[in-house]
């Protein structure tokens, strides 16, 4: 008890508190003085204390042109711009390339390849089937890609440890769409974060109230925790039955029965993660620029091939056009493609009112699809070969074994 009184007296002489501290209790801040902010006030903010995720909005500077900005991103519509006039029509839109035709041997090879991918499919069908009829067809895959740019503004902050601050005193901040920035590559998603010039200011950290550190949640600012080995007694029983000093806490700087807090290194406080122990943050308006590829598609397939399979294989590009703003296709031999192009192009023209249209590209692919009619064991059936890869699709394959892999 006497040692504790001496330690408490030293603390009182050093800090001179306005109220007496009990001589039987260690000071709340352990063996170091409490943190104070720029005004000399003691800052006691617990590490686990609920605090706002951002500084109060009313403390942010008034910036002309950014009066409605908050800490949530707000989309800024682009100013009106005159798009390039696309070509009225392309003369060769009605010319379709020829796709290679599948032979009987190609069909058998494609089916055997499908059988090899399924352990429960037998090979006899592909080897013994009698092909009765081959129907050649084509699927059309139309795609429209609109490459757009979106700009959003919001308040942001970062730890401030000194250095130049680009504030409003350096000039009027440029408006969001006045800041020049370009994508790295067309038709690739990309996001860039840019601090708006002349919008920075330094504020006291809202997390630690400017103290730079927080009370350690593990030891509650004491710098020590109760020894779990001796349960705070300071003694442990030896194998011979005698008591001896606890091995784990006998060298603690806070006395027997106590262990130095490992989380705060016995300091009672941990660095504030928001301001990185500086006590100040730099607030600024952040411009978020997002480039995105917005795609829409339509598939015309007159057999029974699922659309996902049509999209998964390669084909022949029958038509491709790129411009700042494309016109709907009007003279494709398949009228369904013309109608789909008109609907999708008009839909994209209305869908991105808060974004700037950078570029558009539309493509029509022709995917060869072949229907193979065959007979095996006096039963008629059908499968399909599609794409330049000659992939097979046989939804009703007649030689399956779901109970084991005995069929070869």
Per-residue pLDDT of the chain (408 residues; tens, 9 = 90+): 344 343 333 333 333 333 333 333 333 333 344 555 554 544 567 666 777 778 889 889 999 999 999 999 999 999 876 666 555 444 444 556 667 789 999 999 999 999 999 888 889 998 999 999 999 999 999 999 999 999 999 999 999 999 999 999 999 999 999 999 999 999 999 999 999 999 999 999 999 999 999 999 888 888 888 887 787 777 776 666 677 778 778 777 777 788 888 899 888 999 999 999 999 999 999 999 999 999 999 999 988 899 999 999 999 999 999 999 999 999 899 999 999 999 999 999 999 989 999 999 999 999 999 999 999 999 999 999 999 999 999 999 998 875 544 433
- Rounded to whole angstroms, the Cα distance separating 356 from 82 reads 11
**Closest residue by Cα to residue 261 from 212, 217, 230:** 217
Q: What is the pLDDT of residue 375?
A: 95
- Rounded to whole angstroms, the Cα distance separating 202 from 157 reads 9
Is residue 395 classed as helix, strand or coil in its secondary structure?
coil
CB atoms within 10 A of CB 80: 5
Q: What does the buried/exposed string (b/e) look like for 215-225 if buried means 16 or more CB atoms within 10 Å of the residue's CB?
A: bbebbebbbbb
Between strands 190-195 and 280-300, the pairing is: antiparallel
- Rounded to whole angstroms, the Cα distance separating 156 from 287 reads 10
Check if the beta carbon of residue 295 is closer than 8 Å to that of residue 187.
no
**Closest residue by Cα to residue 318 from 335, 332, 299:** 332
Q: What is the pLDDT of residue 224?
A: 87
- What's the DSSP call for residue 133? E
Residues in Cβ contact with 60 at an 8 Å cutoff, skipping those fewer than 6 apart: 155, 201, 283
Q: What is the pLDDT of residue 183?
A: 97
- Rounded to whole angstroms, the Cα distance separating 158 from 202 reads 10
Q: What is the pLDDT of residue 24?
A: 32
Check if the beta carbon of residue 156 is closer than 8 Å to that of residue 283.
yes
- Rounded to whole angstroms, the Cα distance separating 70 from 356 reads 23
The helices-and-strands tally (H runs, E runs) of the chain is 5, 15
CA distances from 5 to 22, 87, 90, 221 (A): 9, 92, 96, 20
Question: Could you please report the per-residue DSSP string of 173-238?
Answer: PPPGGGS----SSTTS-EEEEEEPTT--EEEE-TTTTTSSEEE-TTTTTSSEEE-TTTTTSSEEE-
- Rounded to whole angstroms, the Cα distance separating 42 from 177 reads 45
- Rounded to whole angstroms, the Cα distance separating 294 from 389 reads 28
Element (H, E) at 296: strand 280-300
Residues in Cβ contact with 93 at an 8 Å cutoff, skipping those fewer than 6 apart: 319, 329, 330, 331, 332
Cα-trace Rg, the chain? 37
CB atoms within 10 A of CB 348: 21
């Amino acid at each position: 008890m006497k040692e504790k009184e001496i330690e408490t007296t030293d603390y009182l002489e050093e800090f001179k508190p306005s109220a007496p501290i009990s001589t039987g209790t260690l000071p709340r801040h352990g063996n170091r003085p409490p943190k104070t902010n720029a005004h000399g006030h003691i800052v006691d903010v617990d590490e686990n204390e609920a605090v706002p995720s951002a500084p109060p909005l009313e403390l942010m500077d008034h910036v002309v042109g950014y009066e409605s900005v908050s800490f949530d991103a707000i989309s800024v519509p682009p100013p009106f711009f005159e798009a390039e006039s696309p070509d009225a029509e392309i003369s060769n839109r009605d010319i379709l390339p020829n796709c290679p035709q599948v032979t009987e041997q190609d069909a058998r090879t494609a089916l055997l390849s499908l059988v090899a991918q399924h352990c429960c499919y037998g090979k006899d069908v592909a080897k013994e089937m009698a092909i009765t009829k081959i129907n050649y067809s084509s699927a059309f895959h139309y795609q429209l890609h609109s490459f757009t740019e979106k700009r959003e503004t919001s308040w942001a902050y970062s730890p401030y440890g000194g250095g130049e601050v680009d504030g409003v005193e350096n000039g009027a901040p440029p408006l969001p769409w006045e800041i020049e920035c370009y994508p790295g590559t067309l038709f690739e998603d990309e996001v860039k974060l840019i601090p708006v010039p002349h919008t920075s200011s330094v504020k006291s950290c809202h997390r630690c109230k400017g103290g730079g550190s927080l009370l350690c949640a593990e030891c509650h600012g004491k710098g020590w925790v109760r020894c779990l080995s001796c349960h705070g007694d300071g003694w442990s029983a030896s194998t011979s039955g005698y008591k001896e000093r606890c091995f784990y806490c006998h060298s603690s700087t806070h006395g027997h029965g106590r262990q130095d807090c490992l989380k705060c290194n016995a300091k009672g406080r941990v660095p504030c993660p928001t301001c990185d122990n500086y006590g100040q943050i730099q607030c600024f308006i952040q411009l978020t620029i997002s480039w995105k590829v917005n795609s829409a598609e339509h598939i015309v397939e007159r057999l029974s091939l699922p659309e996902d399979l049509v999209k998964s294989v390669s084909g022949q590009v029958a038509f491709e056009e790129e411009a700042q703003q494309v016109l709907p296709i009007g003279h494709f031999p398949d009228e369904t493609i013309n109608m789909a192009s008109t609907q999708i192009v008009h839909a994209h023209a209305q869908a991105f009112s808060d974004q700037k249209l950078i570029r558009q590209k539309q493509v029509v692919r022709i995917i060869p699809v072949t229907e193979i009619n065959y007979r095996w064991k006096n039963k008629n059936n059908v499968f399909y070969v599609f794409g330049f890869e000659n992939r097979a699709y046989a939804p009703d394959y007649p030689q399956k074994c779901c109970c084991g892999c005995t069929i070869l």
